Amino acid sequence: MPKFLDFVFTFKPRETPHSQAWLRCEDDFGPINQRDTNSGIQPSDTRIQHCFNILGIEPDKKNPGAWLQRQVAAYHTFDLLNGTIFWIIMKGDDTIKDRMQQNTDKVAKSQSGNYSSAHGSFAEALREHLLLLSWGVENWSPHLESLEQICEQYTKVTRYPRIQELVDDTPIRRLRDRAATMESYASPSIHSSEQDNNVKHRVRHMLEPALRRAASSFNVLPRRETTNTDIQMMRLKDDQLELDSLVSFHNLQKISSLVNRIHDSISLIDQNSRVFADIRTRYSELEESALFKTCTKDLEQKARMKSAIDSFVTAVRQLEGQLDSFRDRLHTLLRRAEQADDMYDHIFQARNTRTTEFFAAAANESADSMQKCTEEMQLKTISMHVITIFTLIFLPGTFVATMFSSGIITFGNEGSSGFGPNLGDWEVRVAGLKLFFLICVPLLALTLSIWALSYTWQRRKATIREFLRRYSTAKADSEGVHV
């Protein structure tokens, strides 16, 4: 039967297991040989022949707990006249071979004479069909239990009662709870009186403006290590810890993988059910065919074959019922997994929305704070301008008064008016003037030198930091990592 080669060629090294099952029939109902078949088993031209394959699940011996998809391909011929049975069965191990051998040995030891007549051989051939079909049904129950355990593990989020609270108000609620916790730790007693609370509120109300002004004066340009954005990011990360323990991209990936495995299992069961139904229909129609009635003229033989076919059809229907039960369980499991997958998607979308709202509120708060800082800086700038103007106004007089009080310039005798044609009687002490410049000029040069060195050192540090930042960015980009 050349069609069987299509099944044979599927047994080859491949990345994914073979996942297609079907039945191919090619009966040979030629002219009936009229010779006496009791003289010996001789091939006739009236044969039932077909080939099929069945998909199944087997535990992985190398990896306990894992399951592998396998197939069995079979070619079968039965001679209606002399009762000859012929099988070609292909499988990756000796499972079916051992079962067929055990069944043959059991029949041979029983000495029931099943192989001595055509109807006995026919009944035995049908039982061997059931042996193959039963392999396609076994192992599904433990396999489904393993899938249910995986689904139970990664769908906890669908049974969490407070998921809406976690998603809707996670950042604000967590920050509020943390603040309340810190206040409870700071207070000397949990059950304090109302009077103590009022006193604390008044003290805090009086101290907060002073502390805020002091903090703003020292942190006009906050350092990078303690920026408000970093603190918000750290808080946001802490806020999501409880939700991340239930919802993560790892769990979402596992759920997607589980959905794919369930779809594959449903496809396997559907194809096995179709093959089972085709085999059952084939023998049901064979019983009513004219050629079958012509080949089995013996009424007793025909009755026994019909009884064997009826028993076979009933057994196949039972196997189909088991497959239907497994299919229903898989569809139920698939709905649970898809619901969990949809909930994961909605949770991620809601969390992204809440995170965006949180950062928008933080940005708005930061903008308000910067606006207040800007207004305060404007007031301080105006005050500094006023101070600078008055300083410039009084600076010449201050310098002149300092010179007059130093004794470098002396006026006339004590008690004289000091007025005259030459602005009074005054005298400059040259030695004192030299000493003044000898001290002031070196100090001025030293001050300017220290300032120049400090400015140059800070510029070099800034240049080195910028160079290192650009170098690390370029190195990360070359390695394909986004910094």
> Where residue 424 falls among pLDDT bands split at 50, 70, 90?
low
Max mean pLDDT among 194-208, 285-299, 449-463 falls in: 449-463
**Percent of all residues in the chain with a pLDDT value above 90, rounded to a whole number:** 33
Rounded Cα gap, residues 291 and 282, in angstroms: 14
Confidence class of residue 168 from pLDDT cuts 50, 70 and 90?
low
Long-range CB contacts (within 8 A, 24+) of 138-141: 138/56, 139/56, 139/57, 139/58, 139/59, 139/67, 140/57, 140/269, 140/322, 140/323, 140/326, 141/326
Q: Strand, helix or coil at 86? A: strand
pLDDT digits (tens, 9 = 90+) for 184-206: 555 444 444 454 555 445 545 54
The mean pLDDT value for 114-143 works out to 88
Cα distances (Å, whole numbers) of residue 326 to 122, 143, 340? 31, 10, 21
Residue 281 burial (CB count, 10 A): 13
Angle in degrees, CA 111, 114, 119, rounded to 5: 160
Q: Which tokens is 225 given?
A: 């290590």
Secondary structure letter of residue 426 according to DSSP: E
What are the residues whose beta carbons fall under 8 Å from the beta carbon of 138, sequence distance 6 or more? 56
CA-to-CA separations, 156 to 164, 241, 275, in angstroms, rounded: 14, 16, 38
pLDDT in tens, 215-259: 444 344 444 444 555 555 444 444 444 555 667 778 888 888 999
Higher pLDDT, 424 or 468: 468
Which pLDDT score, from 0 to 100, does residue 421 have? 57
Question: Which pTM was predicted?
Answer: 0.60
Q: Assess whether pLDDT exceeds 80 at residue 309.
A: yes
Mean pLDDT, the chain, integer: 78
Measured distance CA(401)–CA(424) in Å, rounded? 17
Please say whether the beta carbons of 426 and 409 come within 8 A.
yes
Structural domain boundaries in the chain: 4-152+252-355
Contact 269, 327 (CB under 8 A): yes
C-alpha angle with apex 376: 374 to 377, nearest 5 degrees?
60
Contact 50, 26 (CB under 8 A): yes
User: Of the ranges 42-46, 140-144, 322-326, 422-426, which one carries the lowest mean pLDDT score?
Assistant: 42-46
With contact defined as beta carbons under 8 Å apart, do 87 and 101 qualify?
Answer: no
The token pair that represents 253 in the structure block: 């990936």
State pLDDT tens for residues 86-117: 999 999 888 999 999 998 888 777 755 555 67
Residue position matching structure tokens 């040995």:
105
Cα(181)–Cα(173) distance, rounded to whole angstroms?
12
pLDDT of residue 278: 94
State the Rg of the chain over Cα: 49
- Burial (CB < 10 A; 0-12, 13-18, 19+), residue 337, is buried
Task: Tell me the helices (H) and strands (E) count for the chain, helix number first.
Answer: 12, 7
Q: What is the model's pLDDT at position 481? A: 45
Is the pLDDT at 158 greater than 50? The verdict is: yes
CA-to-CA distance for 267 and 361, rounded, in angstroms?
A: 50
Q: Is 249 exposed, middle or buried (0-12, 13-18, 19+ CB in 10 A)?
A: exposed
Q: Which range (3-7, 297-301, 328-332, 370-374) has the least confidence?
A: 297-301
Cα separation values, 257 from 116, 248, 443, Å: 53, 14, 78
Joined together, the tokens standing for residue 448 give: 């300017």
| pLDDT surpassing 50 at residue 3 | yes
Confidence check: pLDDT of 288 > 60? yes
The answer on pLDDT for 125 being more than 80 is yes
